[in-house]
Structure 1
Amino acid sequence: MHTIDQLEKQQVGLRLNKYLIEEIDEFTKQFNVNRSEIITEAIKSYISEQKANLIYQGIDDAFCELADIKNGKKDSKNLKELDEFLDEL
């Protein structure tokens, strides 16, 4: 959840290509929303996707590290780092 202060809106200026504005405007008419709502939802979606990518990359790195430890390519003391990562999840 966000605090009331965090939910307060702040105006920012954007420079977008004309074709993007035209596509946004098509959605505003089709779904009866304004540009800000579309841009806000797009940014939320992008941020969520990037956070998920970071988590999956961390998991992938952890599995690669485990494979290296299993195959004797890395010292098992690195397991502590993996345990710390898993605790964060």
Structure 2
Amino acid sequence: MSNDQNGCDVPRPVGGWNPSSVQARVLEGVAAGLSSGRLSRELHLSSKTIDYHVRVMSDKLQAPNRVALVSRAFVLQILRTDVWPPRIASEPVD
């Protein structure tokens, strides 16, 4: 477990995988329902780069689509369940 900004214990994701900072921002955007186009504009990345990160995370979490990716991220406690818009539960790794 690690501590969040409020000093509360935050469980580490199952399997030890933590998203990179870019993956974290992409996952948060996907969880909030943003399209690749909108995410690319907001993160100043190409749509292909966004789709690449979604595909890599989907493969890592064995999720066949974006909905399943977000669902698995919540189940594995990668995304916090107590905030909106969704946020990563632990600090991203770079």
Larger Rg: 1
TM-score (norm 2): 0.29
TM-score (norm 1): 0.31
Q: Relative to total residues, which structure has the larger strand share, 1 or 2?
A: 2
